[in-house]
Amino acid sequence: MAVDLLLGLQWGDEGKGKIVDVLTASYDVIARFQGGPNAGHTLEFEGNKHVLHTIPSGIFHPKAVNLIGNGVVIDPVIFMKEIENLSPYQIDFKNKLLISKKAHLILPTHRLLDAASEAVKGKAKIGSTLKGIGPAYMDKTGRNGMRMGDLLADDWEEKYQRLLKKHLALLEGINAQIEYDLISMQEAFFESVKAVREFTLVDSEQYIFEAQKAGKKILAEGAQGSLLDIDFGTYPFVTSSTTTAAGACTGLGIAPNKIKEVFGIFKAYTTRVGSGPFPTELFDEDGKQMGVAGHEFGATTGRARRCGWLDLVALKYSIQINGVTQLMMMKGDVLSGFKTIKVCTAYDTPKGRIDYLPYDIASEPITPVYEEFEGWEEDLTAMTRLEEFPKSFLDYITYLEAALETPIRIVSVGPDRKQTIFR
Ligand code: GDP
Ligand code: IMO
Ligand code: MG
């Protein structure tokens, strides 16, 4: 049985949590393949709003199994807080939530190293969520990391102490002016580790093989967005994992030829949280309006998200990198009330007009070239059928589909599960 992937095509926060929750009804397994608690995936239903960080967004469906893959990095403290927040739902975690033994741990000192590294960068800082993501993946690729499976062995505390010693030496070397209380951070960590060991830790790739053999439907849930990918994103202003389709192969043990649909999710405009290049960023009233109407504040850090027009140059790049087969357009409702809608179709650079992401996107000045469309006044949030959409919104969708050469299968017009229209 084939596996489908769902990935963000921009700089994250496209609405992945919402759509995974909507799609879960048609899947048996929802599997997160990368990232960690830097993610904040929001879903809303029946008047409830939830933000998930490490737990896959299919957790509210009684049938589906949710799996945290080997490619994910887990902070036991944040994980246990998420579990606590889910307590009103009486979820059968033992059977419905599986964690890969190969997933790496985020230690308290990973968070400190993240903070120290950002502090010494000054103005050049990445704008990290400070959840310890970069340092945890560094220990993974440096072959020093601790994995969830290590917690089941008697000597796990010795491993922890060895890594702690190394981290403290690194912190001293970085010599950043950060304040912290490692003792209480460690207390919380040890307490959470005890609780995490009681969860179902599995050889997740084996579970995925068997699920495939048994004909189960699997949906791989991405975190962050393609433009934050460690290789293909706007380096160095990226996260530390493979957020693109290939990440589902390495982060779950899925063979490339088993992947069927690749769902690419994007906002009808663009947002970015943290530092780094953003060619279509707006600093005017239009940008403010997007931020206010779209409630553009980070689900993990609460930071205001930078807002701007849709960037087709970047979107086409993401579609290609991922082999997107179906698009999902989110937050079209946020654009109601704009007289004119703009879409960036090329970049003017010191080397001339281009229609691809340049290597030096982080350092060269880029002026976006826009096409303009008539806006619409109508509130879309109560609309449930395509026929109700205003003509200019339908024209916008048709234009994008043609420009992106990929069908838009879902149009989302609000944060609730129900505000989802299939085409
Ligand atoms: P994720 O990280 O990709 O899961 O996205 P986030 O949850 O960080 O951010 C998306 C935000 O937009 C959340 O607050 C969602 O509740 C909200 N949202 C999702 N889809 C829509 C939509 O179509 N319209 C509006 N207005 N809000 C939406
Ligand atoms: P979801 O899954 C938006 C951004 C941070 C920062 C950069 C590196 O909710 O879409 P990191 O903490 O990984 O070292 O931060 O990446 N970032 C996100 N931006 N959505 C996310 O996740 C993000 N995860 C990380 O703001 O710029
Ligand atoms: Mg988010």
- Please choose, from the candidates 97, 51, 64, 66, the residue with its C-alpha nearest in 3D space to the C-alpha of residue 196: 97
Binding site membership of 17 for ligand 1 (Cβ less than 6 Å): yes
pLDDT in tens, 187-217: 999 999 999 999 999 999 999 999 999 999 9
pLDDT in tens, 259-317: 999 999 999 999 999 999 999 999 999 999 999 999 999 888 889 999 999 999 999 99
Encoding tokens for residue 13?
A: 């926060």
DSSP secondary structure code for residue 297 in this structure: B
Ligand 2 probe mutation, 7, 14, 18, 38, most atoms within 8 A of CB: 38
Q: Which residues contact 32 (CB under 8 A, 6 or more apart)?
A: 54, 55, 56, 66, 67, 68, 69, 72, 220, 221, 223, 251
Binding site membership of 265 for ligand 2 (Cβ less than 6 Å): no
pLDDT in tens, 24-57: 999 999 999 999 999 999 999 999 999 999 999 9
- Please choose, from the candidates 150, 140, 65, the residue with its C-alpha nearest in 3D space to the C-alpha of residue 101: 150
Binding site membership of 277 for ligand 2 (Cβ less than 6 Å): no
295 classed as catalytic? no
Binding site membership of 415 for ligand 1 (Cβ less than 6 Å): yes
Catalytic residue among 4, 21, 28, 41: 41
Binding site membership of 134 for ligand 2 (Cβ less than 6 Å): yes
Q: Could you tell me the distance, in angstroms and rounded to a whole number, from the CA of residue 293 to the centre of ligand 1? A: 12
pLDDT in tens, 142-193: 999 999 999 999 999 999 999 999 999 999 999 999 999 999 999 999 999 9
Interior/surface letters 68-107, b for 16+ CB within 10 angstroms, e for the rest:
bbbbbbbbbbbbbbbbeebeeeebebeebbbbbebbbbbb
Query: In whole angstroms, what is the distance from residue 306 CA to residue 314 CA?
Result: 16
Ligand 1 atom having least distance to the Cα of 420: 23
Residue 362, pLDDT > 90, answer no
3-state SS class at 121 = helix
Query: What is the model's pTM?
Result: 0.97
Catalytic residue among 4, 13, 139, 416: 13
